[in-house]
């Protein structure tokens, strides 16, 4: 039962921050909404309590997210510069890559990180095989270089 | 306050310019795959810069928290929608122009 407490706290906190209201009637509505969402989620048995929350992941993401943000900013400026050039490059690529993470969550984080970075979009993820569309050769080489793959593996906790 | 205002305006204008560039890319790039990359600019830095600029205007408070949550949702939903769009295009054999390696759809 104890592991159901954190998701409930998240719901209550989200509601409180979102509404900012303190009137009894509104708070009662909020409490009802939280309980309803919680009850519905419990019935979808893979959503809540299926896996214990990994607090280490949250801590390690403090290293990963700033790096990802910087990569996203760099990629944004690169693609924006590319669009402004008078002659567009004629070199988009479909490439295959491996996701080296051991858990499903890790592979999904990796695939989404690739898509979030402008210039590369994940088309497909089957098992550990990724199909990625890259706008430029540099972006394709960025994925194939595997730095993001290694960093997501580290985020996942593979040492 | 002056510095915060200047920074906020820099972010707002910068984000707006990035969004315009993303729109320009949407028009200029040749096919659905490459165009999705241009839309990625609007999804990420364009939107975030504008949100951050608005947060600096709003100051510490509930409004800023809401703006941050909007940014978080954009970060979570943006890649999912780009992926879904392109996966659907790929599954329906929409051809990519000028693709080279391993592309089963090359003319």
Question: pLDDT for B46-94, tens place per residue?
Answer: 999 999 999 999 888 889 999 999 999 999 898 899 999 988 988 887 7
B88-105 pLDDT, tens digit each: 988 887 776 554 444 444
Q: Does A128 lie in the same domain as A90?
A: yes
Domain-embedded: residue A51: no
A/B interface, count of CB pairs below 8 Å: 109
Q: Does A148 lie in the same domain as A77?
A: yes
Comparing A128 with A4, the larger pLDDT belongs to: A128
Is residue B86 within 8 Å of A115, Cβ to Cβ?
no
From A72, A83, A90, residue closest to B28, measured CB to CB? A83
Q: Does A83 lie in the same domain as A33?
A: no
How confident is the model over B12-21, as a mean pLDDT? 95
CA angle B89–B94–B98, rounded 5-degree value: 120
Question: What ipTM is given for this predicted complex?
Answer: 0.81
Is residue A111 within 8 Å of A130, Cβ to Cβ?
yes
Structure tokens at B22: 């993303």
From B24, B37, B99, residue closest to A121, measured CB to CB? B37
Q: Which residues on neighbouring strands pair with residue A130, listed in sequence order? A: A97, A125
The pLDDT assigned to B99 comes to: 46
A5-42 pLDDT, tens digit each: 877 888 888 888 888 888 889 999 999 999 998 888 87
Contact criterion met (CB < 8 Å) for A95 and B21: no
Q: What is the dihedral of CA B37, B69, A125, A62, to 10 degrees?
A: 100
- How close A113 comes to chain B (CA, Å)? 8
- How close B60 comes to chain A (CA, Å)? 13
The pLDDT assigned to B71 comes to: 93
Q: Which residues on neighbouring strands pair with residue A93, listed in sequence order? A: A134
Q: Does A84 lie in the same domain as A20?
A: no
Domain-embedded: residue A141: yes
Q: Does A23 lie in the same domain as A74?
A: no
For chain A, what is the mean pLDDT? 84
The pLDDT assigned to B12 comes to: 95
The pLDDT assigned to A45 comes to: 66
Structure tokens at A86: 């008078």
Q: Does A104 lie in the same domain as A36?
A: no
The total of structural domains in chain A comes to: 2
pTM summary value:
0.81
Q: Which domain, by its residues, includes A14?
A: 2-43
Mutate to test the interface with B, among A70, A88, A116 (most CBs of B within 10 A): A116
Q: Does A141 lie in the same domain as A111?
A: yes
Q: Does A139 lie in the same domain as A69?
A: yes
Question: Which DSSP helix (H) or strand (E) runs through B53?
Answer: helix B47-58
- Helices assigned H by DSSP within A5-146: 5-19, 24-43, 55-84, 104-116, 137-145
């Amino acid at each position: 039962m104890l592991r159901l407490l954190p998701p409930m706290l998240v719901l209550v906190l989200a509601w409180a921050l979102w509404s900012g209201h303190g009137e009894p009637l509104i708070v009662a509505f909020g409490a009802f909404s939280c309980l309803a969402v919680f009850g519905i989620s419990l019935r979808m048995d893979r959503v809540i309590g299926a896996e214990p929350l990994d607090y280490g992941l949250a801590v390690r993401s403090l290293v990963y997210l700033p790096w990802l943000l910087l990569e996203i900013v760099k990629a944004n400026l690169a693609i924006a510069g590319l669009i402004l050039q008078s002659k567009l490059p004629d070199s988009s690529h479909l490439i295959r890559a491996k996701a080296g993470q051991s858990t499903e969550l890790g592979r999904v984080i990796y695939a989404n990180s690739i898509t979030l970075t402008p210039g590369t979009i994940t088309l497909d993820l089957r098992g550990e095989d990724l199909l990625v569309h890259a706008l430029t050769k540099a972006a394709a080489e960025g994925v194939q270089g595997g730095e993001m793959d290694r960093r997501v593996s580290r985020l996942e906790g593979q040492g | 306050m002056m510095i915060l205002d200047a920074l906020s305006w820099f972010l707002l204008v910068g984000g707006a310019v990035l969004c315009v560039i993303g729109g320009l890319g949407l028009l200029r790039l040749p096919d659905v795959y490459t165009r999705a990359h241009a839309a990625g600019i609007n999804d990420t830095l364009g939107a975030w810069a504008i949100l951050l600029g608005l947060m600096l205007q709003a100051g510490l408070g509930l409004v800023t928290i809401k703006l941050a949550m909007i940014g978080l949702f954009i970060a979570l939903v943006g890649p999912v929608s780009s992926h879904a769009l392109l996966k659907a295009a790929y599954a329906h054999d929409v051809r990519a122009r000028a693709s080279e390696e391993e592309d089963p759809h090359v003319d």
